[in-house]
Every structure is written in structure tokens, then in C-alpha cells.
Amino acid sequence: MSAVPTTALPTTALPPWRAEPRGPLSTAVGNALLTGGTIGNHAAGPDGTDAGGRGATGPVAEADPWGEDLHLALYLLYELHYRGLPDVPDALEWDPDLLRFRARLEQCFLAELARALPGDRTVAEAFAPLLREPADTSGSVSAHLAEQADLELVREYAVLRSLYQLKEADPHAWALPRLTGRPKAALAAIEYDEFGAGRPDAVHARLFAELMAELGLDPAYGHYLGRAPAAALATVNLMSLFGLHRAWRGALAGHFACVETTSSPGARRMVEALTACRAGPAAIRFYAEHVTADAVHEQVARREVIGGLLEQEPGLEGQVAFGCDATVLVEQRLAEHVLNAWRHGRSALRRRPSA
């Protein structure tokens, strides 16, 4: 079964982030970013007041916490802390009104995560299912790709993952100033590998860009934002949320260790898929690198980053488990979205915006 081709977006005069708002929240954020004006006149928080507390009415209270509108709005606001957005002044990164509004969106998302996930879990309980490969891989996108050997589906999956992989390891780097001693040293060692061990040509984000180019996709940072559904944006927003808040440092550590623990088996299946599709060496190299590297990173992340953090701050155990469980949840939701679309002969990507 072949999916809809994932060739580049039509050329427009607008950068990708401006091409297609998905509702009142992302429209309000986009307008505020372009004008540098207040967002409080456009949308309200869950308590019925606007983002700045001035009593305006708006849609945040009724927003779908998994919806396209909320996650695009969050993604745009978070992107101000990464590489910024075309046409948006850097000074807006710390605009108080935008930060207040972002907090309202985050509260909506976090409340849904708390509702959906089990509470009071230990780290051992959260990680135990991840330490063995499941006998049933019917819910795995990488297993599906390895079985189907469909290059068009592989290209589509690369588009979905590009929103994170082109900034790989950046969100977890925010944990470094919030850690000390043993967990800090361990995280820094893993991040050093992620960032190429001093070699620009080996930076993992660059390797993914080369994978995209090898597959005939546009490797420009953020190019496919308009094609990414909420389920894909949520996986990136989760780590951005944890990374930008010191209060969530335990959850960020849990997210990081979860990603490292689950990466190697999936990467191995992607190597099988790309090899079966006869993809070029640059495409295979990205995942081949993760098969070996992340098998080692997993041990360091769990034993040294998590173990060291909980030795220093045992009260963070529940939060570390929450970070792991939340990561599993958003990844499962993305896999369900992708596989449901493919099994019904549809693209898992959003429709192309009109030129």
C-alpha cells in the first residue's frame, strides 16, 4: 500500500509557520507574533480570563488538549526558544503576554496528561515494559515499515519526524544547568555524542537532514510544519514543555531516558526498512548510528542520569515516572494516527495548504 507522495510544499510567499493556522488559538498566536501586539484580545485562559488576566472571552477553556489548534499554537510559541521564526522579532521570546498565554495552553495539555496517565508510579514500574521488545509489534510504525518495505511510507514518516529530528537533543540540553554532579556528567556525555562528538558532520540533526535529502525531501528546518498533524507536534511539545520549566526537570529526565531506552530497537527496524527499500547510504546511516549509540546511551541514561538524579532528589521519582509514561502515551498516539491512516490507504500527513 503506497501513501500519498510527500514531496515538498508548494512554493508560497509565506514561511511554513504562517501558511495555515488551525483555529482561533493558532490564529491569535500568529497575529501576535507578526504584530508584536497583545494576544489577550484574541483568546482566553481556562479560568475565563484572557492570557493577561484582563477579562476577555475566548476559546482556550474549550480547546481540545490533543487538537490541531492547541498544538500548533504551543509549537509556535516554543519555537521562539529554539531558532525563532521568520518575520518574528527575537525580543518576543520573553514577551510576558505570550508567556502567560503559553502557560494557559500548557495547563490544558498537562491536565489532560494527568487525567490520562496512572498516578503514583515508581520509575521501575514505568520503565519495566520498555526493557523488553514486545512480542506483538502491530502497533509499531518501524515494524510496519520493515514489513512493507514501501519507500513512500518511509518518506512520509521522515516528514513526520523531521520537526524533532532536525533539532535532535536540543530540548534535553535544557536539563544540563538544572542538574549537578553525577547526572549532569552522564547527560553531558550522551549529549556530546548526539551533537557529533565535536564533529559537525556527525551531529545527529545533520545526519537526519542528509537522510531527508537522500529520500528526495526538503531538509530545511521547519519546512514541513504545515504537513505535521497534532499527534506529531505533541511529541515535540511534550519535551519542549518539560525542558523549559525547571520545575519539570524530573519529567525531562524521564522523557530522555525513555527515548534512549526505546530508540535502538526501532532504529534497527528502520535500517531493515530502508535497506529493503534500497534507500541510499545517507538515509541508512542515520538509523544505523542510533542502533549502536543508543544501546549504550540507554544504560547510561537509566543508571546514571535517572539513578544519579534520584539519589540526589528522591522526591522526584513520581515525576520521572510521569515523564516516561507521558512519552509513551504521545508516541502511542502518533503511532495509532499513522497506522490507522496507512491501513485505510490515506496519508498520515495533513493536506497541503493551497498556494
**pLDDT, tens digit (0-9, with 9 covering 90-100), for 39-71:** 854 444 434 344 443 333 357 888 999 999 999
Please name the residue that has the C-alpha cell 520498555. 130
Task: State residue 352's pLDDT score.
Answer: 60
What is the model's pTM? 0.91
Cα distances from 213 to residues 8, 85, 283, in angstroms, run 11, 22, 8
**Secondary structure of 209-275 in the HEC alphabet?**
HHHHHHCCCCCCCCCCHHHCCHHHHHHHHHHHHHHHCHHHHHHHHHHHHHHHHHHHHHHHHHHHHHH
Task: State residue 185's pLDDT score.
Answer: 98
With both helix axes pointing from N to C terminus, report the angle between 151-165 and 204-214 in degrees, rounded to the nearest 10: 150
CA distance 106 to 138: 32
The grid coordinates of residue 252 equal 525531562
Helix segments in the chain, DSSP class H: 24-35, 68-79, 96-116, 123-127, 141-148, 151-165, 170-173, 181-194, 204-214, 230-244, 249-276, 281-300, 307-312, 317-343
Q: Which three-class secondary structure state does DSSP give residue 44? A: strand
**pLDDT, tens digit (0-9, with 9 covering 90-100), for 182-238:** 999 999 999 999 999 999 999 999 999 999 999 999 999 999 999 999 999 999 999
The grid coordinates of residue 175 equal 536539563
Task: State residue 247's pLDDT score.
Answer: 98
Task: State residue 58's pLDDT score.
Answer: 54
Burial class (CB in 10 A: 0-12, 13-18, 19+), 213: middle
Closest by Cα among 123, 66, 107 to 325: 123
List of domains in the chain: 16-116 (no CATH), 123-343 (1.20.910.10)
| Backbone dihedral region for residue 351 (phi beyond 0: left; psi -120 to 50: alpha; all else: beta) | beta
Task: State residue 133's pLDDT score.
Answer: 78
CA distance 326 to 328: 5
DSSP 290: H
Q: Which residues of the chain have pLDDT under 50?
A: 1-11, 41-57, 353-355
The grid coordinates of residue 326 equal 507521558
